[in-house]
Amino acid sequence: MAINIYFQQFVFTYKHKIITVLYTMQKDAFCTLELSILLAGVWGHDLFAIISLVRINIDAKRKAKEEYKI
């Protein structure tokens, strides 16, 4: 009987902590910061890829012009 009461109290305390953690304001700020950092990394990589493609395109056009001047 004592083990059952202890288990019920443990489960209530555990569930209460989970609910408390899920609904705190600090979690929202942390998730917002984490999401911002991850998205900045993704968009930064995309921007780098686009700039690299533009540079490759410009370089290819420049080399094509040099070849046809001969």
Q: Convert the pLDDT of each residue in 25-45 to its tens digit.
A: 566 778 888 899 999 999 999
pLDDT at 33: 87
Please report whether residue 54 resides in a domain: yes
Report which DSSP code applies to 23.
Answer: T
pTM for the model stands at 0.54
| Type of residue at 59 | D
Q: Is residue 61 part of a domain?
A: yes
**For the chain, how many structural domains are there in total?**
1
pLDDT of residue 31: 82
Report the pLDDT value the prediction gives residue 67, as an integer from 0 to 100: 81
Structure tokens, 28: 């929202």
The residue segments making up the domain with residue 49 are 25-70
> Could you tell me if residue 42 is inside a domain?
yes
Q: CB–CB of 21/27 below 8 Å?
A: yes
| Ranges in the chain, pLDDT < 70 | 1-27, 69-70
In a domain, 5, yes or no: no
Residue 9 lies in a domain: no
Determine the pLDDT at residue 68.
78
SS3 content of the chain, % helix, strand, coil (to 5): 95, 0, 5
The answer to whether position 30 is within a domain reads yes
44 domain-assigned? yes
Classify residue 1: in a domain, yes or no: no
C-alpha angle with apex 35: 30 to 38, nearest 5 degrees? 125
